[in-house]
Structure 1
Amino acid sequence: MPAVNLRHAVRAIVLDEDDCILLCRFEIPEPAGAVVWAAPGGGIEPGETPLAALHRELQEEVGLAVRGDPPHVWHQEVVAPGHAAGYDGVINDYFLVGTARFNPRGTLSDDELAAENISGLKWWHPREVASYDGPDLFSPRDLAALLTALITSGVPTHPVLLGL
């Protein structure tokens, strides 16, 4: 069986004092022009640790400087050719970052964000995610239920394994 080439990435579940989550609006051009709301984060560069990548990505995308090492709360593996350009799928590790509400603006320019398919940032309450009935998707798809469980039960002893 051939080796599977997965993109390793980190994502931050950035929650404010009202349990709202900060999400990036990704406009995915292929295959069907989908819009997906997902946690900020991105690929781990060669030689970089997951936490170093998390710190870098949050500074670049939303302008949040993270102190310390946030807890690892979710783990996701998606093996699906085409899910991540140039890869057979993705591994996402999610870390919980609590913060006071802020106006997100990272170090990347609008053009640099657009090159990463990011077209906006928005704070969402879990109820808004659960009741959303528009055409956009959320990643992971069951984000509202996962957030509610995380907020209600707190940090899990081991990262929760996620589906798509």
Structure 2
Amino acid sequence: MSSVNLRHSVRAIILDEEDRVLLCRFAIPEPAGRVVWAAPGGGIEHGETPLAALRCELREEVGLVVTSDPPHVWHQEVVAAGHASGYDGVVNDYFLVRSAGFRPRGGLSDEELAAENITGFQWWHLQDVAGFDGPDLFSPRDLATPLAALITYGAPARPVLLGL
């Protein structure tokens, strides 16, 4: 049996005082210039804890300093060729971070963000995610469903398992 090489990542569901969620716009060159809106975050380096990785990624990408230990709310495993360059898929662990609204600007330059395929940031209301009918995708694809539950009921007792 061959082992599956998955990229382990952490992501933050950042909700502001209006329950808007902050998403990154990822312009994925392959296949065919796809755009995916996803929570900020990134890979966990060898020897790094998930929360340390989360704090580092949020500071670098959006300029948010997280000093508390946010609750782990979602877990996602996607095994699919081509889903993450150089890997057989991803494992994403999502943490809920409450924050006042802010203008995202982290320590990474525009060039460094572009190297990670990040081309912008946007605060989204739940109804705008749920009603979106453009060509862009969300990650997870059905983001509106778990997001609605998170906004309505708060952090779950155990992380909710997400699909693609």
TM-score range normalised by the length of the shorter chain = over 0.9
Q: CA deviation at 1:42?
A: 0.3
TM-score (norm: length of structure 2): 0.99
Q: CA deviation at 1:32?
A: 2.4
Q: CA deviation at 1:17?
A: 0.3
- 2:34 alignment counterpart: 34
Secondary structure, aligned partner of 1:95: strand
Matching residue's letter, 1:67 = T
What percent identity do the matched residue pairs reach? 76
- Distance in 2 (alpha carbons) for counterparts of 1:144 and 1:3: 33
Q: CA deviation at 1:153?
A: 1.2
Q: CA deviation at 1:154?
A: 1.1
Give the alignment of 1:42-53 within 5 angstroms: 42-53=42-53
Give the alignment of 1:1-150 within 5 angstroms: 1-150=1-150
Matching residue's letter, 1:69 = D
**Segment drifting more, 69-78 vs 144-153:** 144-153
Deviation beyond 6 Å, 4+ runs, structure 1: none
- Distance in 2 (alpha carbons) for counterparts of 1:99 and 1:61: 15
Matching residue's letter, 2:7 = R
- Distance in 2 (alpha carbons) for counterparts of 1:116 and 1:152: 32
CA RMSD of aligned residues (A): 0.5
- Distance in 2 (alpha carbons) for counterparts of 1:26 and 1:68: 27
TM-score (norm: length of structure 1): 0.99
Q: CA deviation at 1:102?
A: 0.5
